[in-house]
Chain A
């Protein structure tokens, strides 16, 4: 079976700084895959490459069986992305932003209205959907980012610190959502520092350090590989080493 995400010996340099030093990973369809590592490990760079924001210096990347470098539009059409920055056009209302995002993904108007209504209900943002995004709190803005990433029902969802600012109830819903997406055959690639949630929702994880994958597998396998009693201990060790 074609993997949902295939990263093959990907390197990325910014000037003289090497952000990724040969990352190789495979994520299967229907997986919630955790991507963890200390600050500056190269997680966001990997996610930006997968989302088609930047190109790797060398190596190959495919998403949903499509080569991201050869057919970027095909790949982007199948990917949803929640950026760490929570970037949105904040002068628009959530409803305007989502409607226009739906058009950018080529959804027909009826589908857009259905999906916008569905996700506004799911993320409990109906009442404030007409306000400019700039007027919303950080957590509500993050919900809009989620909705925009889900609107076109992507095969692969790429999440960079997606729980930033979310309240407890929304985090619980999002955990259910990730499980439902995986059960429905979609793939979630989830980068976060919240190790307890990664352990809870991810079927497999990869630990990245200084642009290299140190270990990948189930949480237990990764703990064994890194000689740590928990994923958190493994990361603490790496972080201390970095600092």
Chain B
């Protein structure tokens, strides 16, 4: 037995209660940071990739959009106030509650170890500081640089402003995580995560709207806070910390800013340690009955309807229902396509209520193409990808597999933009052309799914979720542009050639339909030779 157990025993190490053990803190930080920043699968969302780079890219891109505001801002002060306010909102929304499963696993690793509450708290604060600083600085850097160019901000002030922003962001998240904890306890982590995701999408929409308004020199942008309201925000006190005068009122604001950050830190220290592990396990112990989404139930029902079986065979309906259900439930998928659909609704509203000419319909045509590609990638991916063996080993024909994916993508992603496109087309064109265009949109979407599956066949839900890379986004954008151009050419042909033009567009639509059928058969053929590694 002597070779089984290691030689020599040490007295157990017990850290001082209520104090920070620096060696434990270092080890804890290394564990948590490595888990947070290294490439791999995120325990909460199921997305794979490098979270650090993803945050940097997305925040810098958002910052680039926000930098456009420097071109329409009345003055430096109001621009800085808006950038600081939006940065703090973004930081708060980006730091959301962990998923139940991720929290439970972390608790199972760390809570049985003899780590004092003070050390846990210090590690949490350090992680929050790093995260909030990364988000705030990568978002605000480009707008601040734009302000040096357009609004006369001294370049020397940029790092000082970033320091104030990071300080404010840190103070905010210290309190924000306590609010999130209360929210999780009351509503559950899943609802809180979903709410913050929707808020992020809405915020991105606002920033994009503001940028578009700047680029098109439109008279109206998104609703904005008045100067008087902005002055009342603590973020404004931070924003003007270095640029304000040195009068009594300005100094009071400076003191207020520092006092607020200090208060946030005190509140965190006072209440942060009440991280009850019981609450974690209690939350996850609550079972809930679930029901398939309406769309999935509708698809299954359609598959059973006698007259519709040719269009939607029951196995394809079942697969489409499965893809739709998982897509709605899995965090990595449920918000995909949401921004694009919101954009489609926005452009449709533009088309209905203003005389935008061909532009709104062309953009909707582009949206149909790009949302189809996005929907296809969602149909291919799942956070529980290893479970796709169940689809691969099911006695489902390759033809039904392809059709199942097509139906899932068409109903969940394409239906709304296509419906809006058709409505606008009927409003702007003759009945015959509008019908042809709507049919063309539908067949094009089917062609895209079939062609993509023929080009790279993969079982549905068989790939881990990943953020679409730059190349993928460029391809989606180019394909979307091609869709828009196709619509404009069709409309112009009809304008120039009348009935003959409509006939030509009809012939092209039939051509798309035939190619879609051929692509569907090719995809089915390639699927029939596909092997599953699982």
A residues contacting B by CB (< 8 A) are: 14-15, 17, 48, 51-55, 73-74, 76-79, 81, 83, 85, 87-92, 96-97, 100-101, 103-108, 111, 114-115, 118-119, 122, 132, 134, 152-155, 176-177, 179-181, 183-184
Question: B232 contacts the other chain (Cβ, under 8 Å)?
Answer: no
Q: How far is the CB of B28 from chain A (nearest CB, A)?
A: 7
B11: nearest chain-A partner, CB-CB: A77
Which residues of B from 91 to 149 have beta carbons under 8 Å from A? 104-109, 111-116
In the complex, the answer to whether A81 meets B112 with C-beta atoms within 8 Å is: yes
Given contacts A51-B112, A96-B34, 9 further A-B contacts (CB under 8 A): A54-B278, A73-B15, A87-B105, A90-B35, A91-B40, A104-B113, A105-B13, A105-B114, A134-B41
Closest to B116 in A: A73
Residue of A whose beta carbon sits closest to that of B106: A87
How far is B24's CA from A103's CA once the two chains are assembled, in angstroms? 6
Minimum C-beta distance from A205 to chain B (A): 23
Question: CA of A177 to CA of B5 in the docked complex: distance in angstroms?
Answer: 8
Q: How many A-B residue pairs have CB under 8 A?
A: 132
- Point out which of A73, A96, A108, A184 has the most chain B C-beta atoms below 10 A from its C-beta: A73
The listed residue (A90, A103, A184) touching B27 by CB distance below 8 A is: A103
The distance in angstroms between the C-alpha atoms of A78 and B111, with both chains bound, is: 14
Q: Separation in Å of the B197 CB from the closest CB of chain A?
A: 23
Is A100 within 8 A of B112, CB to CB?
no
- Which of the listed residues B13, B108, B112 has the most CB atoms from chain A within 10 Å of its own CB? B112
Q: Cβ of B26 < 8 Å from any Cβ of A?
A: yes
Contacts of B282 in A (CB 8 A): 14-15
Residues of A near B107 (CB, < 8 A) are 53
Could you write out 27 A-B pairs with CB less than 8 Å apart?
A15-B282, A17-B285, A53-B108, A53-B281, A77-B13, A83-B108, A83-B109, A85-B104, A87-B108, A87-B109, A89-B31, A89-B32, A91-B35, A92-B34, A96-B34, A100-B31, A103-B23, A104-B28, A105-B113, A106-B14, A106-B15, A106-B114, A111-B10, A115-B6, A153-B9, A176-B1, A176-B4
Asked if residues B1 and A55 are in contact (CB atoms below 8 Å), the reply is no
Q: Which residue of B lies closest to A103 (CB)?
A: B27
Give the one of A101, A106, A154 with max B CB within 10 A. Answer: A106
**B281:A100 contact, CB within 8 angstroms:** no
**Is B14 touching A179 in the complex (CB atoms < 8 A)?**
no
Task: Take A53-B107, A180-B1 as given contacts and tell me if A100 and B14 are in contact as well, using a CB distance cutoff of 8 Å.
Answer: no
Over the window 320-363 of chain B, the binary record of Cβ atoms lying under 8 Å from chain A Cβ atoms (1 yes, 0 no) is 00000000000000000000000000000000000000000000
Distance in Å: Cβ of A184 to nearest Cβ of chain B: 6
Give, as a whole number of angstroms, the nearest-CB distance from B215 to chain A.
Answer: 40
Verify A100–B30 contact, CB threshold 8 A.
yes
User: Given A51-B112, A52-B111, are A15 and B105 neighbors across the interface (CB < 8 Å)?
Assistant: no
Which residues from B are CB-within-8-Å of A177? Answer: 4
- By a CB distance below 8 angstroms, the chain A residues around B106 are 87
CA–CA, A25 and B5, complex, Å: 28
From 1 to 59 in chain B, residues with beta carbon under 8 angstroms from any chain A beta carbon are 1, 4-6, 8-10, 12-15, 17, 21, 23-24, 26-28, 30-32, 34-35, 38-41
Docked CA distance A78–B114 (Å): 9
- The answer to whether B281 and A181 have CB atoms under 8 Å apart is no
Please report the C-alpha to C-alpha distance between residue A180 and residue B10 in the assembled complex, in whole angstroms. Answer: 18
Q: Which residue of A lies closest to B278 (CB)?
A: A54
Tell me which of A54, A76, A103, A180 contacts B281 (CB under 8 A).
A54
B286 interface residue (CB < 8 Å to A): yes
Whether the Cβ atoms of B108 and A100 lie closer than 8 Å is: no
Query: Which residue in chain A gives the minimum CB-CB distance to B38?
Result: A91
Chain B residues with CB under 8 Å of A105's CB are 12-13, 113-114
Write out the residue numbers on chain A whose beta carbons fall within 8 Å of the beta carbon of B12: 74, 77-78, 105-106, 152, 154-155
Q: Which residues of A contact B28 (CB under 8 A)?
A: 104
Q: Is there an interface contact between B277 and A54, defined as CB atoms closer than 8 Å?
A: yes
Q: Which of B61-107 contact A (CB under 8 A)?
A: 104-107
**Cα-based distance from A92 to B236 in the complex (angstroms):** 41
Check A114/B281 contact, CB under 8 A, given A77-B13, A105-B13: no
